[in-house]
Chain A
């Protein structure tokens, strides 16, 4: 079984500041990990994914995440926030052998202030 915990349901940053969204996972087998973004009233868009290749993963819109097995973490970062980054972000995990059955975290709403 797997689970995901996103620390902080709301994160607020100033435009230009570092964005850090935290995700910790639990999985009985080597996991695949994902970050999705959801803009208001829209579906989910994949930001990036880890599938057992490089531990530092770069995604769209300047986001990246690092898989740290020892910490069971997959935190999402962006060096400089833009107003357009305001959205809800979801971390998700799936067992590597059962791709697709995603288990999602509760989501983190990112607010960017001018």
Chain B
């Protein structure tokens, strides 16, 4: 099975500062990768997904961007953070090859923008 790594685990950033959250995958090749955000008191919202290197689809307009420079690396970025960017960010990946049809989640990054 695959394992999703995320870092940092927590992050406190001032408004207007840049952001870079990293997600790496091990145990599988060519996964579909996803970024979700969980805002306080709300469910999970899909932000971006990627089916391969350099291929990014955005689900909602926002202050964030994503990139996939390598097969097993998925990065979430912002040039200038807003207060509304605070939340819990989760990276996830499919493991279709394993025929388990399971989507695995990373441990998440808690971002607080002040």
Contacts and interface: CB of A to CB of B under 8 A. Distances in A.
Contacts of A32: 101
Contacts of A46: 102-104
Contacts, number: 53
A99 B43 contact: no
A34 B42 CA distance: 18
A45 interface: yes
Interface stretch (B14-22, B68-76, B77-85, B105-113): B105-113
A49 interface: yes
Interface residues of A, number: 21
A104 B59 CA distance: 14
Contacts of B4: 43
A101 B43 contact: no
Given A100-B34, A100-B49, A49 B102 contact: yes
B44 A90 contact: yes
B110 A44 contact: no
Interface of chain B, helix or strand or loop or mixed? strand
A106 B43 contact: yes
Contact of A99 (B36, B46, B94): B94
Contacts of B94: 99-100
B41 to A, nearest CB: 9
A89 to B, nearest CB: 11
Given A43-B90, A49-B102, A100-B94, A105 B107 contact: no
A100 B103 contact: yes
A46 B105 CA distance: 9
B102 A101 contact: no
A51 interface: yes
A90 B43 contact: yes
Nearest to A36: B105
List 4 tightest A-B contacts by C-beta distance, closest first.
Answer: A43-B105, A106-B43, A44-B105, A104-B44
Interface of B: 4, 6, 32, 34, 36, 42-46, 49, 90, 92, 94, 96, 101-108, 110
